[in-house]
Amino acid sequence: MAIDMNTDYQRPPAELVDRFRTLASSTVGNVLDDLGIDGIILNLKPVVFGTRIVGPAYTVKEISGVRGTFSAAEFGLGAVIDTARSGDVVVIDNAGQQVSTWGGIASLAARNKGVGGLIVDGGVRDADEINEFGFPVFSRHVVPLSGKTRVKVIATGGVVKIDGVRVSAGDIIVADSTGIVCVPLAKAEEIAARAEKLDQDDRRAIEEINKGLDFTTALSKFPKL
């Protein structure tokens, strides 16, 4: 079965994505909570702390089996990197499987192409190389077990589930050392505006606390902190 490659989906304007670049995942998460949007991904962690991802999701659906289930040619990762656009965040749904679907060389190739980062509900390997190459990766597992003949890419550019959260191609991903949030494209303008207001309140609170304001008063003055 060939990969169902879809690159013809709605993408956010670059200026809309840029509005999220200085916003923390926790700030965006507060807005998602307030709006009742299920977009907070809890159980994936950065491979290297201090890295940050902001960009449109390029979604990938995989299936896994025991060693020898698939041919090495069916792995399909090359096609994913080849079709990802500069700035994209590759978002891979491998149903949380404890097997690597991405490593150091893939990170180097993706970084050199301008891919913005990787989110994997599954496993990656070569953490030291990923660190060396400076490519932002968030995953459920870090394992040495190869995905070749165990993992197959079946589709790109559709809807996937990451830690139970629905992610559609073109949604905006924000990830930092705190965690990952998915901003549905249809609500991104509203979420950006609300998060920017919260971010301004955060900055004002920091300034006032530095000037001597106590935390209890800060909480009453900025109740959304």
> Does residue 125 register a pLDDT over 90?
yes
The reported pLDDT for the residue numbered 225 is 61
The reported pLDDT for the residue numbered 223 is 66
Full set of structural domains in the chain with CATH: 14-185 (3.50.30.40)
Q: What is the band of 73 on the pLDDT scale with cuts at 50, 70, 90? A: confident
Q: Who wins on pLDDT, 212 or 128?
A: 128
The reported pLDDT for the residue numbered 203 is 83
Q: What is the band of 222 on the pLDDT scale with cuts at 50, 70, 90? A: low
Q: State the DSSP string of 150-212.
A: TEEEEEESSEEEETTEEEETTPEEEE-SS-EEEE-GGGHHHHHHHHHHHHHHHHHHHHHHHTT
> Does residue 210 register a pLDDT over 90?
no
pLDDT tens for 153-199 read: 999 999 999 999 999 999 999 999 999 999 999 999 999 999 999 99
Q: What is the band of 212 on the pLDDT scale with cuts at 50, 70, 90? A: confident
Percent of the chain with pLDDT over 90: 82
Q: Who wins on pLDDT, 22 or 219?
A: 22
Helix then strand then coil, % of the chain, to nearest 5: 35, 25, 40
Query: For the chain, what is the largest distance between any 2 Cα atoms, rounded to a whole number of angstroms?
Result: 65
| CA distances (Å), origin 207, targets 20, 64, 198, 199, 203 | 22, 50, 14, 13, 6
Q: Who wins on pLDDT, 54 or 49?
A: 54
The reported pLDDT for the residue numbered 3 is 83
pTM: 0.93
> Does residue 207 register a pLDDT over 60?
yes
Q: How does 159-184 read in b/e, with b if 16+ C-beta sit within 10 Å? A: ebebbebebbbbbbbbbbeebbbbbb
> Does residue 141 register a pLDDT over 80?
yes
> Does residue 92 register a pLDDT over 70?
yes
Environment class of 211 (CB within 10 Å of its CB; exposed 0-12, middle 13-18, buried 19+): exposed
